[in-house]
Structure 1
């Protein structure tokens, strides 16, 4: 049976939250806690996590402690127990995924990013997003669009650095690409 294009792409954006909620409703408690834990950018109480994961506080605490033991989370306080994402763990995971890229995939991705970087440099006539003031670039769209471009450009440059660093770490003795 051939999958339609819409089926491959998943639900339309307006249905995404409902579809995610449905998948989490059917997931075991440890999976629901893990999904909530991925979003913890601020110290969050066990009771709040349990409510979001729709499980008991004891189940949430057990799964959160396990996630803290393996480094996914950091236990910020003991009483009340609060947890947040361990950003260094996610940086490490990301670096490992980048290091596993084939040479071909690495070159393709780096080429795309460098092309996008060059496009922004040409569009705005500056070498870096740090040199942009969105209020002075009204000829390129409204200031909100320029802010978005600055954010995207910074993200592209961060990705270029991450790719180059991952490549450097896997090729001892070679300079950065």
Structure 2
């Protein structure tokens, strides 16, 4: 485990016994780098656009800016065609779309920065 701590994959906490915790920032950084390496700037921009459209649809559907602002029970009770499971599924997808958009936008910025450096260097 010490090797993983040296790489930044886990955080080591001294104590008796020593404990470790997954470093989520490392995995986020790794995912962004992977997206930047696998996609063109145009492809990354298209993903950001698609996710933004999906988020806007949820905002309009639920008349809210974030999934956390939605009262799922109220929405399910007021809509005969929506079960509580449907609403929770939408809210989960909406939250995921927010997170994915952040990743794709960071990857796009990274890719643009890399291409700019290569063009000037």
Q: Please confirm whether the aligned pair reaches a TM-score higher than 0.5, indicating the same fold.
A: yes
Deviations 1:108-166 (A, max 9, x none): 32233123223323432334323311122011522233122112201101211222233
Q: Does the 8 Å CA contact 2:48/2:104 hold for their aligned counterparts?
A: yes
1:112 maps to 50
Question: Mapping of 1:14-163 within 5 angstroms?
Answer: 64-100=1-37, 101-138=39-76, 139=79, 141-163=82-104
Distance 2:16 2:65 in 1: 49
Deviations 1:31-60 (A, max 9, x none): xxxxxxxxxxxxxxxxxxxxxxxxxxxxxx
Query: Residue 103 and residue 168 in structure 1: after superposition, are their counterparts in 2 closer, same or farther (change >3 A)?
Result: closer
**Structure 1 segments of 4 or more deviating over 6 A?**
none
Name the count of aligned residue pairs.
109
Distance 1:127 1:74 in 2: 34
**Cα root mean square deviation, aligned:** 2.2
Which has the greater radius of gyration?
1
Higher relative contact order (CA closer than 8 Å, sequence separation 6+): 2
Q: Which stretches in structure 1 are left out of the alignment for 5+ residues?
A: 1-63, 173-177
Q: Which stretches in structure 2 are left out of the alignment for 5+ residues?
A: 114-121
Q: Name the SS for the 1:80 alignment partner.
A: coil
Q: Which has the higher helix share?
A: 2
2:116 maps to none
